[in-house]
Amino acid sequence: MKRIVWTFWIFVLALSVLWLFADTLWPAQPGYFALRTAWIQYSGVLAIGAMSLAMVLATRPKWLEQGFNGLDKMYRLHKWLGIAALATATAHWLLAQGTKWAVGWGWLTRPGRRARGAGESAGGVESILRDWRGLAESVGEWAFYIAAVLLVLALVRRFPYRLFAKTHHWLAVAYLVLVFHSVVLVKFAYWAQPVGWALAVLLASGTFSAAYVLLGRVGARRTSHGLIESLQTYPALNVLETTLRMDADWPGHRTGQFAFATSDAREGAHPYTIASAWEPENGRRITLITKALGDHTRRLPERLRVNDRVKIEGPYGCFTFDDDRPRQIWIGAGIGITPFIARMKYLARDGKPDPRPIDLFHPTSTVDPLAIEKLRADSVAAGVTLHLFASPQGGLLTGEHLRAVVPGWREASVWFCGPAAFGRDLCADLVAAGLPREAFHQELFEMR
């Protein structure tokens, strides 16, 4: 989590410093309009810069995963950048449009334009850009309205995922319009300075990424297909277990990773943690465990059939249990148990469990006897100590309880998958009691 926090603020600070080398937030010329011009430029640079980096991250660049500790963390940064772009673009719009309204209402008087002196005529490129100012302002305003609506919808949890996935792609079109708006309206002198060079790189990268998104190339090189071999429902848990036999082009996966599965092209891809170890010599099978959390996942047991073909994109993620600490503590809350099932199957595969002591805590509000029986069998085979916390209310596990059950918890690494707020509270509790912050690993499994 620290990596994405630092990346976000370093990016904002670096872009701000580069801009300050080229301009100032407090111009020497007195008056509101001079101040407005400076702040419009600054807010515009921040907005299009944040949106450009967010567009790059939308392509799911595999080469960045390790640096950010997983695609789930990259998507969190993508979300923060989108919020930052919305906030700064709104400020930019208010400065531009609000001033025009104030002038129209007679609240402000716009100063006359200074006539250009001899030798101050614009060059060829600058002159062309000046001719496009009116068009750039008009299309940029409408692109902002569209982008703002789409960004707000992306943040509304009640907005259906299938509609979010489709409408979110339209942001790429709005972004391309805003690139044109920015190129035309950014202060021409910036292009000869570091802020302009950085902006040029961001705009070029964002434009390529937007085209990549619109052409449907995101994840194309990491896509395979699988044939459904079996379907197992757990009615009490509202969970479906799907086993697929993958085509030969599936590259395999590490335990704890996830993939995007598409069983209905109209619905689009949904992310699911892979709940099985990779055994290419044993049928090239993977297992997905799906919780009924929305309309699409609720309909899967009725819609999916054995021998159906499913598109799988991945694998992604760095929640892979890699560390050198002397013991591990796993916490799989609810459907968050999935990556730990995969890890236990991996440890049991060759009959060589991890020599370190491992404690698995499974808080759940609902118990399905068959699912618990399988979980117990997996834990025994993997040499993992299972602690089940089941109640209608759920969430009975606390940091205090964990510390009482596992005396050597300070030397352990903690791996958490489940509700984000639960994970944050547990992390804060354990870190306050003495656990090193870097020893707590949390999967941020939220793709919007």
Q: C-alpha distances in angstroms, 428 versus 51, 106, 334, 436, 440?
A: 31, 54, 20, 11, 10
Lowest model confidence (mean pLDDT) among 33-47, 150-164, 208-222, 323-337: 150-164
d(CA 265, CA 303): 13
- Fold of the 2-109+125-214 domain: Four Helix Bundle (Hemerythrin (Met), subunit A) (1.20.120)
Q: What's the pLDDT score for residue 394?
A: 47
Backbone angles phi, psi at 415, to 5 degrees: -120, 115
Confidence category of residue 392, pLDDT binned at 50, 70, 90? low
- Does the pLDDT of residue 296 top 50, yes or no? yes
β-pairing verdict for 239-246 and 285-291: antiparallel
- Fold of the 327-442 domain: Rossmann fold (3.40.50)
Output the six-digit token pair for 423. 């994970």
Average pLDDT score, the chain:
90
Q: What's the pLDDT score for residue 116?
A: 53
Contact 320, 346 (CB under 8 A): no
pLDDT tens digits, one per residue of 267-293: 888 889 899 999 888 789 999 999 877
Report CA 413 to chain centroid distance, whole Å: 24
Contact 55, 182 (CB under 8 A): no
Confidence category of residue 11, pLDDT binned at 50, 70, 90? very high
Q: What's the pLDDT score for residue 113?
A: 63
- Does the pLDDT of residue 121 top 60, yes or no? no
As a whole number of Å, the CA-based R_g of the chain is 26
Output the six-digit token pair for 66. 């390790």
Helix (H) or strand (E) holding 331, with range, is strand 327-332
Q: Is the peptide bond before 315 cis (omega within 30 degrees of 0)?
A: yes
Q: In what order do the strands lie in the sheet with 285-291?
A: 270-273, 258-262, 309-316, 223-234, 239-246, 285-291
Contact 353, 359 (CB under 8 A): no
Q: What's the pLDDT score for residue 127?
A: 85
- Does the pLDDT of residue 316 top 90, yes or no? yes
d(CA 194, CA 163): 40
The vertex-46 CA angle with 41 and 52, nearest 5°, equals 125
CATH of 221-316 among 2.60.40.10, 2.40.30.10, 3.40.50.720, 2.40.340.10: 2.40.30.10
Give residue limits of the domains in the chain: 2-109+125-214, 221-316, 327-442
Helices then strands, each counted (H, E), the chain:
14, 11
| Region 178-185 average pLDDT | 96
Confidence category of residue 8, pLDDT binned at 50, 70, 90? very high
Output the six-digit token pair for 325. 């600490």
